[in-house]
Amino acid sequence: MPPKVKTSAEKQAVRTAIMDAARELFIHQGVEAVTMRAVAQQVGYSATSLYLYFSDKDQLLRAVVDADVIKLAQSLKSTLSISDPLQRFLQFGQHYVQFALTNPNHYRMMFMTQHLPCDPAFSSIEQNNHEQDAYSQLIDVVTSAWHAGVFKPTLTDPVLIAQTVWAAMHGLCALQINLADDAWINWRPLEARMQAMVSMCMHGLMKETTHE
Amino acid sequence: MPPKVKTSAEKQAVRTAIMDAARELFIHQGVEAVTMRAVAQQVGYSATSLYLYFSDKDQLLRAVVDADVIKLAQSLKSTLSISDPLQRFLQFGQHYVQFALTNPNHYRMMFMTQHLPCDPAFSSIEQNNHEQDAYSQLIDVVTSAWHAGVFKPTLTDPVLIAQTVWAAMHGLCALQINLADDAWINWRPLEARMQAMVSMCMHGLMKETTHE
DNA sequence: ATCGTTAACTTAACATTGTTATTTTTAAAT
DNA sequence: ATTTAAAAATAACAATGTTAAGTTAACGAT
């Protein structure tokens, strides 16, 4: 029974309701295991109605991921107010890893599964908006630390530094998320690996005087 | 028309034929996009016949991945004969990254997709066999470099060092494979990122005297 | 008030997938 | 020659993403 004519606000509400249901299921069961029918049931619609709001499952996933990237940015935002550039950088990294490891399925969705590349022209995320764009936060955090002179003088490109640190931290998180339960590997405790990675990055990137 | 009674060698041949066909398709189309029917057609069987050789698609994938891990180990083996422990370590790492980036779909299958954890008890790979087990190669390469005294004296656990370096290199490869085409990120050239990562690892882990 | 019109939704239906049940073929054993 | 069972194919099922075809009811125009 369709109680007709929805304001665009109401339509938006349905959209986000669908996204919330989808995210909930994605997170607990993994993207592939979740069916459109299951999402629909969760949100109280028939399966085909989802297609009135999202053109297909990929687009639904893309929308959820975009929203989560914004959430990540929101979560990281708290560290941006730290005044000391070095401390800000360190806390930013720690928050990132913490987010990844406490929300492994979020993280997997965002950075570890192939999906349509994120096109800034059509994304719901505003690029370079610090409220939404975690990557631009990273670039800024590293750049300001760089201006503060914490990095080795041979390192002249803050963006390259940022991408390197990101890769290192991503590797830590990704292996943990995907292979932590693999009996093949005699994993050292996660805490030890995190500490070792941070230590390697600091010694590898910063001036001697900066650490310890 | 079944030309009956196969020796176990013949059965093994069919098994590997199926695996080869599956790998070929997995690599070019991604694991999810490949159907059992497509694999079967490629190998000249009916779809259901695959189930005489593999209990399901997951097991087929697992078998392909195991075989590829062995191939990775074979590929890395060439570096093990380098006599200088430091050079061996560096070449080993470079080969690993090169393998990952020239075989992105192999790599994705092996380390970037969730699948049944690899149980050493039932794996076709012989753990600690240097011909087959790339992880044990890594541990040995790092351990011998450690014994040669190339690492900072504060680093006392070669396994932890190995897992940290692996994570760093994995992060580099994984981001490249999954997000290289993402217009959101203004990626620095791959070469620059590789060089920056290696440099960070070296400065972060090795004695000052060791590099340059 | 009534009558289309159409937005919002549902039910049917389809093609494709992984997988199982059933049946066919045929080489060997008796 | 007849039986047996391995090796394969065909038929068939349930589940999935998705499209096509209805169905319902709120609104605008008369």
User: What pLDDT shows up at residue A208?
Assistant: 84
Q: How many Cβ atoms sit within 10 Å of the Cβ of residue A102?
A: 9
Q: pLDDT (tens digit, 9 = 90+) per residue, A135-159?
A: 999 999 999 999 999 999 999 999 9
Contact A60, A54 (CB under 8 A): yes
Q: pLDDT (tens digit, 9 = 90+) per residue, A41-55?
A: 999 999 999 999 999
Residue B119 confidence (pLDDT) above 70: yes
Domain range A64-210, CATH architecture? Orthogonal Bundle (1.10)
Residue A1 confidence (pLDDT) above 60: no
CA distances (Å), origin B73, targets A143, B69, B131, B144, B166: 39, 6, 6, 18, 15
What would the two tokens of residue B173 be?
A: 């490869």
Q: Which CATH superfamily is domain B65-210 in?
A: Tetracycline Repressor, domain 2 (1.10.357.10)
What would the two tokens of residue A174 be?
A: 């990704």
User: What pLDDT shows up at residue A121?
Assistant: 81
Question: For residues A175 and A181, what is the distance between their CA atoms, to the nearest angstrom?
Answer: 10
Which of A152, A193, A202 faces B164 most closely, judged by CB atoms? Answer: A193
Residue A170 pLDDT level (bands cut at 50, 70, 90) = very high
Residue A167 identity = A
Residue B25 vs residue A131, higher pLDDT: B25
**Interchain proximity B196–A135, CB inside 8 Å:** no
Q: Which range among A82-91, B19-28, B61-70, B184-193 shows the weakest confidence by mean pLDDT? A: B61-70
Contact B95, B164 (CB under 8 A): no
Helices (DSSP H) in A30-157: which residue ranges? 36-43, 57-80, 85-102, 104-107, 134-147
Contact A91, A79 (CB under 8 A): yes
Dihedral (C-alpha) B47, B64, B52, A31: value to the nearest 10 degrees? -60
Which residue bears the tokens 């610090």?
A130
When pLDDT is averaged across residues A68-73 and rounded to a whole number, the result is: 90
Residue B197 pLDDT level (bands cut at 50, 70, 90) = very high
Residue B74 identity = Q
User: What pLDDT shows up at residue A212?
Assistant: 55
- CATH for A1-54 is 1.10.10.60
Radius of gyration of chain B (CA): 20
Q: Where are the domains of chain A?
A: 1-54, 64-210
Contact B194, B97 (CB under 8 A): yes
**What is the average pLDDT score of chain B?**
92
**Interchain proximity A120–B183, CB inside 8 Å:** yes
B33 class by beta-carbon count within 10 Å (0-12 exposed, 13-18 middle, 19+ buried): exposed
Q: Please tell me which residue of chain B has the smallest CA distance to A32.
A: B32
Give the best residue of B140, B160, B164 to mutate against chain A (max A CB count within 10 A).
B164
User: What pLDDT shows up at residue A118?
Assistant: 76
Residue A5 confidence (pLDDT) above 90: no
Could you tell me which residues are beta bridge partners of residue A151?
A206
Please tell me the distance in Å from B164's CA to the nearest CA on chain A: 6
Question: For residues B30 and B32, what is the distance between their CA atoms, to the nearest angstrom?
Answer: 6
Could you tell me which residues are beta bridge partners of residue B151?
B206
Give A70's contacts in chain B (Cβ within 8 Å): none
Question: For residues A22 and A11, what is the distance between their CA atoms, to the nearest angstrom?
Answer: 17
CA distances (Å), origin B43, targets B36, B46, B58: 11, 9, 18
What would the two tokens of residue A111 be?
A: 């950075």
Please tell me the distance in Å from A4's CA to the nearest CA on chain B: 39
**What is the average pLDDT score of chain A?**
93
